[in-house]
Structure 1
Amino acid sequence: MNVYKVKINFEEKGLEPKELDIAEGESVLDVCLENGIELQHNCGGVCGCSTCHIYVNSGEDNVQEISDKEEDFIDRAVNPRINSRLGCQCVMIDGNIEITIPDQSQFLGH
């Protein structure tokens, strides 16, 4: 199994960027949760909501292609951009990736 790097930047003030290992077939959401990084996932990581919304800064070709279902949920996310993805759907296939996690403090009950 191949292991790559994911560099995680945060919009939330006071959080330093992190670089973590991510295995082929693993999602960005999984790696965040395994490493104590707060990334909301109200649906449990099954592409049923938009709360694990992230921005892919580089390496978008190294994750599985976006599905129509994922695109529909991204449209409902807070501040979607052209490089928006859902963390649960960013499954590694090859190479490194750099992402930014939007400010999670806006979610109630966190």
Structure 2
Amino acid sequence: MPQIVIENLFNLKINSVSVPRKVIEIIHENGIDWMHACGKKGRCTTCKIILKSGEENLSPPTKPELDFLQQGRLRAGERLACQTELLSGEIVVRVGNINKFPHIKYSE
């Protein structure tokens, strides 16, 4: 079953009923706040996910992601949640320190 595990939200598990779907949409539909300053348009990096495992279960990087990688605004192992689709299987991600909300309690 397609699943997202958010490691530093106490290993919160989100099961996705249907895929392919954008990671941020799955997260938001499950009532979890996730930053997205540009309105999920791939114009910033505030929605980035730090991918710990499951890269093979995601869509290939999009042009905005490749551009941000080239500019150094994304690093290897980081993806934009608004651009990345979960295709199958499980992914394990983390929220970056700079992208954490003050009203949410995170685990480490």
Q: Report the TM-score range of the alignment, normalised by the length of the smaller protein.
A: 0.7 to 0.9
Is the 1:40–1:52 Cα contact (8 Å) retained in structure 2? Answer: yes
Counterparts of 2:4 and 2:23 in 1: how far apart (Å)? Answer: 8
Residue aligning to 1:20: 14
5+ unaligned residues in a row in structure 2: which ranges?
103-108
Q: Report the 3-state secondary structure (helix = DSSP H, G, I; strand = E; otherwise coil) of the residue aligned with 1:48.
A: coil
Q: CA RMSD in A?
A: 2.0
Is the 1:56–1:98 Cα contact (8 Å) retained in structure 2? Answer: yes
Single out whichever of 96-105 and 56-65 deviates more from structure 2. 96-105
TM-score normalised by structure 1 residue count: 0.76
Which runs of structure 2 are paired with 1:40-55 in the superposition (5 Å)? 40-55=35-50
Which residue identity does 1:34 align to in structure 2?
Answer: E
Residue aligning to 1:8: 6
Q: 1:53: how far off?
A: 0.7
Counterparts of 1:76 and 1:34 in 2: how far apart (Å)? Answer: 30
Q: 1:26: how far off?
A: 1.2
CA deviation string 1:48-85 (max 9, x = no partner): 211101111111111110023212235464xx431000
Query: Is 1:83 aligned to 2:83, yes or no?
Result: no
TM-score normalised by structure 2 residue count: 0.77
Query: Is 1:105 aligned to 2:101, yes or no?
Result: yes
Is the 1:48–1:73 Cα contact (8 Å) retained in structure 2? Answer: no
Query: How high is the sequence identity, in percent, across the aligned residues?
Result: 29
Runs of 4+ displaced beyond 6 Å? none
